[in-house]
Homo-oligomer: A and B are copies of this chain.
Amino acid sequence: MEYTVKQIADLVGAKVIGDEQILISGINSLDEASPEEISFFADRRYAESLKKTKASAILVSAATDLYKGTQVLVTNPALAYARIAALFSSPAPTHSGISQRAAIHKSAVIGKGVSIFPLVYVGEKVVIGDNVILFPGVFVGDRVRIGNHTVIYPNVTIMQDCLIGNEVIIHAGSVIGSDGFGFVRDEGVNVKIPQIGMVQIDDRVEIGANNCIDRAALGKTWIKSGVKTDNLVQIAHNVVIGEDTVIVAQTGIAGSAAVGRQVVIGGQVGISDHVKIADRVMIGSRSGVPKSLSAGEVVSGTPAMPHRLWLKTRGLITRLPDLVEKLRSLEKKVEELEKRPK
């Protein structure tokens, strides 16, 4: 597909400086763009790339002398880029209709415009909304309900009784509704606590690849609307994640933890069980969070501490040998001083 610069500018409500009729066939970084492509300048550090780019048009927040081609002025170039990239993304690989090679229980209720690829399994009394896409290898357990416009990528497992909302995306290999990890020790042996709750995933949630979101022991594990998780994230039983919270890869959240809205959690973070993370908290990557955090706190490190304090301690850890040396030297000096006659 090709679009004129004018068409693109209209999409994001932008003003154009230069030739509006240039045809654009793609979007790319300043360094990689060819003359048929549009690019974007959202970060001062790329000024050199801007000077050299071959792109015929760029998205900028203010007119610039560094570039001679057509400039599309937008308030937020990153946001405009996100919207325009959608024009040029490869078409979602849909399967027309419901494959005869899927295994679908006769009691399942399936909406309009649904694509079910070959090799999908849909269990008893499942309800699937309109325009849903289920890729090959997807397992939908008994009594699961899926809303409208939701896309489930290959080899995803959704166990029985889970609820999946509208416009949800679940990437390949993720497991929703596996048993929570609950055992009682009885004379050295671990007796399983049946996990009789479920997982509820609300609208516009996006779950990365190879995530694990466990079903609740009782009640529900709850991922609220607009949450986005990266890959290999672990969410234990009875966890609640608030609206529009973002969780980066390989983070684990232990049982019954409650995370607020618009929280940002970096990669490889661990959050202990029953901890409460209030709204808009930011947690740096690789932090260990043993205790609850108040609204708006910005923390890093293990144990999690104010981010500024952590920036200091982080450096000091590498200076520990030096500090020990200084301490030893002081001890000797004090010993000498103590020997002086009073």
Interface residues of A (CB under 8 A from B): 27-29, 32, 76, 78-79, 81-83, 85-86, 88-90, 93, 99, 101, 103, 117-119, 121, 123-124, 135-137, 139, 141-143, 153-155, 157, 159-161, 169, 171-175, 178-179, 181-184, 186, 188-196, 206, 208-210, 212, 214, 217-219, 226, 228, 230-232, 234, 236, 244, 246, 248-250, 252, 254, 262, 267-268, 270, 272, 285-286, 288, 301-303, 305, 309, 312-321, 323-324, 326-327, 330-331, 333-334, 337-338, 340-342
Contacts and interface: CB of A to CB of B under 8 A. Distances in A.
Contacts of A136: 103, 121, 139
B234 A234 contact: no
Given A118-B121, A119-B103, A327-B330, A232 B232 contact: yes
Chain A interface, >50% SS class: loop
Given A119-B119, A212-B249, A232-B212, A326 B323 contact: no
A104 to B, nearest CB: 10
A169 B195 CA distance: 14
Given A194-B82, A209-B212, A323-B324, A232 B234 contact: yes
Central interface residue in A206, A208, A312, by most chain B CB within 10 Å: A208
B190 A214 contact: no
